[in-house]
């Protein structure tokens, strides 16, 4: 009987990422972002039109083609966020094993902020700002992996060093191309229009593989800094409120005088539903900002699941499946909602609503009693608002003029409420470890 009681902890607490199964899972997670980066030239073809294609392709600007140039559409920017979320998530998981607060965490935070700014500053609109962010992003990423390399387990260290060297060589090539373009802005577009892109794609590939193949040693106890749970909760709540402010500011940000967001012709009587979130973020910078402000809430949704499932094999699969589906449909919605007006490309939004409701209900069962009321409010609000949005979606397709003429802001207001609650909900979650352990023991007793 004791064996059954102890087994859940030993199984769930073992996270040997060097084991064959874990390495294969992480490699699978690397396939999507790497494939996306290398398929960008195909996605920019005139027959597909998903990514950006400059008018003089491939002789674009001073450096020829580049990842930055290819993702200068709302769809390509949104899909960039969707594909790179998993590697960024694992960068945080890797650092989480190295202590509570140290230089490794500071570098990964800076790295993530700069990656978000990379998505928010499209090359074709703010060239100099974008170039500065890309330079800082590359330097910070290389610095971060050089720092954490010393904490890597011995069996993975050789691979990590090869990938760091590859990333360094690639970003050095990017720097050399930029220097050549400064001296002669016509040489690269004419003689080597794809060279800059090749260096960028190789560097990003190396970064993705570094993130997913790195495995840290056990962190020394005396280097771990303990923090106040109350202080950490207030910090999490403050950061998860950033998406709320962004959503509320979308209307003024889309004004013609600012031009950060998008307004349809005849605004606010747009499309089938009036003003919508998808229409407001129909610019690369607005889509990039949407992904940037929601990264932290999505990260904490994953961290909450990671904390909960260590103690609960009963809810392990449901919690993981819903958070994966929730994240996947959120990213697909950013990448596909503005690609085409055909209704099929809007399906991820409907699935996102369903998985968000399901995930919050599942996490409500795992929440501590002191936070359960707050989680119940979040789950109830999301259920009501997203259900209303699904009903309005059916109404809009049934009667295309009803919402734009009589309630042009209703759809957007409900979206703001639903997405805002989804953003702040992870901050309220606190795992009820004692209840989950008791449930595990009861389950072990019944099995014995």
Q: Could you give the angle at which helices 195-213 and 154-183 cross, rounded to 10 degrees?
A: 160
Helix and strand element counts for the chain (H, E): 20, 0
User: Which pLDDT score, from 0 to 100, does residue 227 have?
Assistant: 46
- Is residue 95 very low, low, confident or very high in pLDDT (cuts 50, 70, 90)? confident
Cα(19)–Cα(15) distance, integer angstroms: 9
* pLDDT at residue 121 is higher than 70: yes
User: Which pLDDT score, from 0 to 100, does residue 220 have?
Assistant: 45
* Residue closest to 288 by CA, chosen among 44, 123, 43: 123
Length reported for the chain: 448
Between 161 and 26, where is the model more confident? 161
Instruction: Quick: pLDDT tens for 355-379.
Output: 999 999 988 888 878 888 989 999 9
Helices (H), 337-368: 347-366
Instruction: Quick: pLDDT tens for 270-293.
Output: 888 999 999 999 999 999 999 999
What spatial distance separates the first Cα and last Cα of the chain, rounded to whole Å?
Answer: 6
User: Which pLDDT score, from 0 to 100, does residue 410 have?
Assistant: 96
Mean pLDDT of 125-136: 89
Share of the chain above pLDDT 70, in %: 84
Instruction: Quick: pLDDT tens for 391-416.
Output: 999 999 899 999 999 999 999 999 99
- Is residue 225 very low, low, confident or very high in pLDDT (cuts 50, 70, 90)? very low
User: Which pLDDT score, from 0 to 100, does residue 365 have?
Assistant: 83
User: Which pLDDT score, from 0 to 100, does residue 263 have?
Assistant: 92
* pLDDT at residue 136 is higher than 90: yes
Cα(104)–Cα(300) distance, integer angstroms: 18
Place of tokens 């990003």: 204
User: Which pLDDT score, from 0 to 100, does residue 438 have?
Assistant: 63
Cα(144)–Cα(91) distance, integer angstroms: 10
- The whole-model pTM stands at 0.87
Contact predicate 433/404, CB 8 Å: no
User: Which pLDDT score, from 0 to 100, does residue 339 have?
Assistant: 82
Cα(447)–Cα(249) distance, integer angstroms: 54
* pLDDT at residue 18 is higher than 60: no
- Is residue 10 very low, low, confident or very high in pLDDT (cuts 50, 70, 90)? very low
- Is residue 174 very low, low, confident or very high in pLDDT (cuts 50, 70, 90)? very high
Environment class of 314 (CB within 10 Å of its CB; exposed 0-12, middle 13-18, buried 19+): middle
CA distances from 159 to 154, 162, 201, 207, 258 (A): 10, 5, 19, 12, 47
Place of tokens 């928010």: 120
CA distances from 170 to 10, 53, 201 (A): 41, 23, 8
27-36, 146-155, 261-270, 280-289, range with the lowest pLDDT: 146-155
Neighbours of 64 (CB within 10 A): 25
Does residue 63 have a cis bond before it (omega within 30 degrees)? Answer: no
Average model confidence (pLDDT) across the chain: 84
Instruction: Quick: pLDDT tens for 228-242.
Output: 455 566 777 788 899
Radius of gyration of the chain (CA): 23
């Amino acid at each position: 009987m004791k064996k059954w009681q102890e087994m859940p902890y030993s199984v769930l607490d073992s996270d040997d990422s060097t084991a064959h199964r874990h390495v294969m899972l992480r490699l699978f997670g690397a396939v999507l972002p790497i494939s996306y980066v290398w398929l960008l030239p195909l996605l920019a073809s005139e027959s597909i039109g998903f990514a950006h294609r400059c008018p003089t392709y491939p002789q674009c600007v001073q450096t020829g083609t580049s990842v930055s140039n290819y993702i200068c559409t709302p769809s390509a920017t949104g899909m960039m966020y969707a594909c790179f979320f998993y590697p960024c998530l694992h960068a945080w998981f890797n650092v989480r094993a190295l202590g509570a607060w140290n230089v490794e965490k500071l570098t990964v935070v800076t790295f993530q902020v700069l990656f978000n700014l990379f998505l928010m500053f499209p090359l074709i609109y703010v060239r100099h700002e974008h170039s500065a962010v890309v330079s800082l992003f590359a330097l910070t990423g290389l610095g971060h992996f050089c720092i954490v390399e010393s904490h890597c387990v011995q069996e993975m260290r050789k691979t990590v060093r090869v990938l760091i060297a590859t990333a360094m060589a690639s970003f050095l090539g990017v720097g050399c191309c930029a220097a050549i373009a400064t001296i002669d802005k016509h040489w690269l577009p004419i003689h080597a229009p794809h060279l800059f892109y090749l260096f960028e794609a190789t560097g990003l590939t190396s970064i993705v593989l570094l993130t997913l193949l790195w495995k840290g040693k056990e962190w020394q106890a005396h280097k771990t800094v303990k923090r106040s749970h109350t202080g950490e909760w207030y910090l999490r709540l403050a950061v998860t409120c950033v998406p709320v402010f962004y959503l509320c500011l979308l209307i003024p940000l889309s004004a013609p005088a600012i031009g950060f967001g998008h307004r349809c012709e005849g605004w606010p009587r747009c499309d089938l539903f009036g003003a919508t979130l998808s229409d407001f973020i129909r610019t690369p910078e607005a889509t990039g900002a949407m992904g940037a402000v929601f990264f932290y809430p999505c990260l904490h949704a994953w961290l909450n699941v990671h904390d909960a499932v260590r103690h609960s094999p009963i809810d392990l699969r449901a919690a993981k499946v819903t958070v994966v589906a929730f994240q996947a449909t959120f990213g697909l919605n950013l990448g596909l909602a503005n690609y085409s007006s055909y209704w099929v490309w809007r399906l991820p939004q409907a699935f996102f609503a369903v998985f968000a409701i399901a995930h919050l209900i599942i996490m409500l069962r795992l929440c501590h009693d002191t936070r359960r009321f707050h989680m119940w409010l979040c789950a109830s609000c999301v259920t009501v608002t997203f259900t209303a949005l699904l009903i309005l979606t059916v109404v809009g397709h049934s009667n295309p003029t009803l919402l734009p003429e009589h309630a042009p802001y209703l759809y957007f207001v409900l979206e703001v409420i639903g997405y805002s609650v989804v953003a702040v909900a992870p901050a309220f979650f606190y795992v009820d470890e004692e209840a989950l352990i008791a449930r595990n023991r009861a389950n072990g007793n019944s099995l014995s």
